[in-house]
Chain A
Amino acid sequence: MPSFQQFRLPDAGEGLTEAEIAAWHVAVGDTVAINQTIVEIETAKSLVDLPSPFAGVVTRLLVEEGTTVEVGTPIIEIDTDPTGEAPADAAPGAGPEVPVHGPTSDADPVQAGAPVARHASAAAEPAAEADEPGGAVLVGYGTAAAPTARRARFTSAEGDVDAGAAGPDATAAGAAPVRPATAGPGASRGGAAAPAPAAPAAMPTVRPGAVPTGEPAAVSGRRALAKPPVRKLARDLGVDLDSVVPTGPGGIVTREDVLAHQAAAEARVLATYPADDQPWLASGTVSPDGRQTRVPVKSVRKRTAEAMVTSAFTAPHVTVFQTVDVTRTMKLVQRLRQDKEFADVRVTPLLIAAKALLLAVRRHPDVNASWDEAAQEIVYKHYVNLGIAAATPRGLVVPNIKDAHRLGLHDLAEGLAALTSTARAGKVTPRDMSDGTITITNVGVFGIDTGTPILNPGEAAILAFGAIREQPWVHKGKIKVRHVTQLALSVDHRLVDGALGSMVLADVAAVLEDPAQALVWG
């Protein structure tokens, strides 16, 4: 008779709790010798080859490559008596016993010594997680409880019932009874790919044909039992009694059962967001009460967070403000929009602000620089890659216009347009975003007066361009209605002092107030 042995993931270091299966060196059907290298694992410390504790034939690889599992999780099954006769029949629950091999064997007979009915182990996984015994051990594993303890996910009531009713007949691939409320990475984690931990304690509790407590009446084919007031309550609330899990004596549905079912159902309604309305929720997992959604931080959001934390906590920010009458800039914009030369591009106040900033940089090139902490040097850039912060469906990105200092107003307008359309299409490449030297953030498009922008990492200044409003303004000694905006310039005070920042901002303001100034400085 074949004798199946399982090898638990050991702690290959001191006090490591998990490791990734980096590469299997054997496949199902291979014959292995004692101490033959069977798998390479990657721990927090190193790549380690694991030698086989058994001689025999590999019957199952229990963990896929690339999967991280906790120490103590069975990872491979080896038949140490492959020439023995096949088991009579792989009837559910009647499979050969699989002793789980590991150093806890001396310490914890419940965990290591008890037989494992191999055919049932996969299906029993969801039920097993709760009460996997831990073992106080002295060697290697620490307390290797709950090998793949995963947080319970939001699950429909029916899903839970499936898990119970599926019983030992379910296969690892077919059962997958737990359905997360929203699709995404969370869903695949709960699927069949997860290794089935040996769960001797929890497994035998469900038998074919038995009706587990907590099973809805509908599943067992009986009509739900409930008292008339409860039936009325269910009818009033629109709850289908047959779908309610009964907890009352004799399997009757109680008032509390109906209310709990309805609360769960409401939570599900709350949780069902139209993805296109709220794309930020797309890959999230809804909390059981439906009141929160947890979304993994990744991609643009992750990069933004890292960049902002880096910037905010390394560069001491100083922000200077100026309110400026941009009426002449608005007139210039109007004129240029009529100009044939500019017929093919979009002229906006932002374009003039960009030109104004470029002129200010030409007059104060020392603001166009970067702090090199590692080298303890300041890097002055003899070119301007002008960054424009853009809100896109994917999040905030800051592509830049390469060598903007060389561009005339028309080419600058083209560069802005190209950058904007690329960003809108979500096609900004890493190259578009790299090597920026100074940035404009156009908060005005959101109707905002101004803000204190955080520097794009590696840059020394960022200009916030506020909303342009018609406001009462003292013009030539009289109060007039003028176009007024606010400018804010944040600088990295490690290399840009307040005086320099103020002069740069004053220059930008001067050009916006009187674009003719550009002739003087251009």
Chain B
Amino acid sequence: MSTSGPLTDDGLVQLLTPAGERVDHPDYSARVAHLDADALRGLYRDMVLVRRFDTEATALQRQGELGLWAQSLGQEAAQVGSGRALARQDYVFPSYREHGVAHTRGLDLTQLLQLFRGVDHGGWDPEEFNFHLYTLVIGSHTLHATGYAMGVQRDGAVGTGDPERDTAVVTYFGDGATAQGDVNEALVFAAVNNAPLVLFLQNNQWAISEPTTRQARVPLAARGPGFGVPSVRVDGNDVLATYAVTAEALERARTGGGPTLVEAFTYRMGAHTTSDDPSRYRSSAEEDYWRQRDPIDRLEKHLAAAGELPEEFRTALAAEADALGEKIRTYVRSLGRPATSTMFDHVYATPHSVVDAERAWFERYEASFAGGEHR
């Protein structure tokens, strides 16, 4: 890789090398010191299950069961590491590829699929998981997150010293989004309002077919200080480093220290979405390079070298992954058409007379067909 520009390896926080060796970092080692072998196996399990889910969903799209799928393949460490650093009360604004974060927030992964099958605009109650609905418009949700964080601030849920109350807001976006006005506006507003916000940038190096080198002359994290937002670059394929860096940024937000821009340097090993063919714009050599840096492999090597990956654990995890795949397949095939009347349900948060009148008209119209609901 290059030694300057947006793709440099310089300054990446790393705690686990691609070979699975644990290395120390003066600022961040302490933040993962409490993670024992059980916790590491937990992170490993998270990543394996998320990857299996992602693979299954990709296959389901190819079988015509989903209209579209955005793969998270290769970004498991960035998502699981950051997601596992969150506190219960923290609130997440994802884009559309954060399947690993969704998993750490306690969503049943099947809930992500209704949107991609086109039978629901969302699929879950954001309030239940403090996990906002997926946003397909690039970057717009970073402004929503900023506004939400400013609301948290005005609710007085920042800097109280109560670990159950102090709240951080995290928004996930990609390298492509950094070129959008919305993300830059979010940085401006978050900075000047000292919002309790973590701007978690997954630089997977490809904005569909546009490489990061076509969007920046400097590492993307270097943009933060210009807005007055401290930033950090982390090896996004290192689940421990991602955890540590995020934990620090969250702590800063919750304690009133303001926003942080985290650039997790990772790689989109799959296509942008199932509608895309990456072989048309990137080399197989580049893909091989990143396959050597697979986020799951390096934790697996680390655990295996430490003798902390017993055969029974692997077997049980493989069975769990298979069961997850089967469950997802069965679930997706069983999804029915949503009742047409649900289109009126979430237009406004509170009852609205115009919507009620339209719903009543629509119900009369439906009832006018002999034999009940007309398809």
Contacts and interface: CB of A to CB of B under 8 A. Distances in A.
Interface of A: 7-14, 34-35, 45-53, 102-103, 105-107, 136, 138-141
B117 interface: yes
Interface string B47-91: 000000001100101111111100000000000000000000000
Contacts of A35: 55-56, 59, 325
Contacts of A13: 274-275
Interface string B308-335: 0000000000000000010001000101
Given A34-B329, A35-B59, A14 B118 contact: no
A102 B62 CA distance: 11
16 contacts: A9-B64, A10-B62, A12-B61, A12-B275, A14-B67, A14-B68, A47-B277, A50-B62, A103-B65, A106-B336, A107-B375, A138-B67, A138-B119, A139-B66, A139-B119, A140-B61
A137 to B, nearest CB: 8
Interface string B20-62: 0000000000000000000000000000000000011001011
Nearest to A107: B337
A34 B330 CA distance: 12
Given A12-B274, A45-B277, A50-B63, A139 B118 contact: yes
A5 to B, nearest CB: 12
A294 B61 CA distance: 40
A139 B65 contact: yes
Given A35-B56, A106-B335, A106-B336, A10 B276 contact: no
A49 B62 contact: yes
Interface string B274-316: 1111011000000000000000000000000000000000000
A52 B62 CA distance: 9
Q: Which 10 A-B pairs have the closest CB atoms?
A: A10-B64, A46-B277, A138-B118, A53-B63, A51-B59, A13-B275, A140-B64, A35-B59, A14-B275, A106-B336
Nearest to A16: B275
A106 B337 CA distance: 7
Given A14-B68, A45-B277, A138-B67, A51 B337 contact: no
Given A46-B276, A136-B375, A138-B337, A103 B56 contact: no
A48 B62 contact: yes
Contact of A138 (B64, B117, B277, B325): B117
B67 A46 contact: no
Contacts of A139: 64-67, 117-119
A51 B329 CA distance: 13
Nearest to A136: B375
A140 B274 CA distance: 11
Interface string B82-105: 000000000000000000000000
Contact of A51 (B63, B67, B275, B277): B63
A23 to B, nearest CB: 15
A139 B274 CA distance: 13
Contacts of A136: 375
Contacts of B56: 35
Given A14-B275, A46-B277, A105 B66 contact: no
Nearest to B117: A139
Given A11-B64, A106-B336, A138-B67, 18 more contacts: A8-B64, A12-B61, A12-B62, A35-B59, A45-B275, A45-B276, A46-B277, A46-B280, A50-B63, A51-B63, A52-B63, A53-B329, A103-B65, A105-B333, A106-B335, A139-B117, A140-B61, A140-B67
A153 to B, nearest CB: 31
A290 B64 CA distance: 43
B64 A103 contact: yes
B366 to A, nearest CB: 15
Most buried by A among B64, B66, B117, B280: B64
A396 B367 CA distance: 67
Nearest to A72: B64
Nearest to B119: A138
A47 B62 CA distance: 12
A34 B276 CA distance: 23
Contacts of A106: 335-337
Nearest to A50: B62
B269 to A, nearest CB: 16
Nearest to B118: A138
B323 to A, nearest CB: 13
Contacts of A45: 275-277
B335 A140 contact: no
A46 B209 CA distance: 13
B337 A140 contact: no
A140 B333 contact: no
A513 B335 CA distance: 87
Contacts of A47: 277, 279
Nearest to A35: B59
Contacts of B280: 46
Contacts of A7: 63
Given A35-B56, A106-B337, A107-B337, A10 B117 contact: no
Contacts of B68: 14
Nearest to B273: A14
Contacts of B119: 138-139
Contacts of B333: 105
Given A46-B280, A138-B119, A138-B337, A102 B275 contact: no
Contacts of A8: 64
Contacts of A10: 61-65
Nearest to B326: A34
B341 to A, nearest CB: 16
Contacts of B275: 12-14, 45
Contacts of A140: 61, 64-67
Contacts of B61: 10, 12, 140
A43 to B, nearest CB: 9
A8 B63 CA distance: 8
Contacts of A53: 63, 65, 329
A14 B67 CA distance: 7
A136 B118 CA distance: 12
Nearest to B63: A53
A139 B66 CA distance: 6
A499 B274 CA distance: 59
Nearest to B333: A105
A20 B83 CA distance: 42
A45 B281 CA distance: 13
A46 B277 CA distance: 6
A13 to B, nearest CB: 4
Nearest to A53: B63
Most buried by B among A11, A49, A52: A11
A103 B276 CA distance: 21
A21 to B, nearest CB: 14
Contacts of B336: 106
Contacts of B274: 12-13
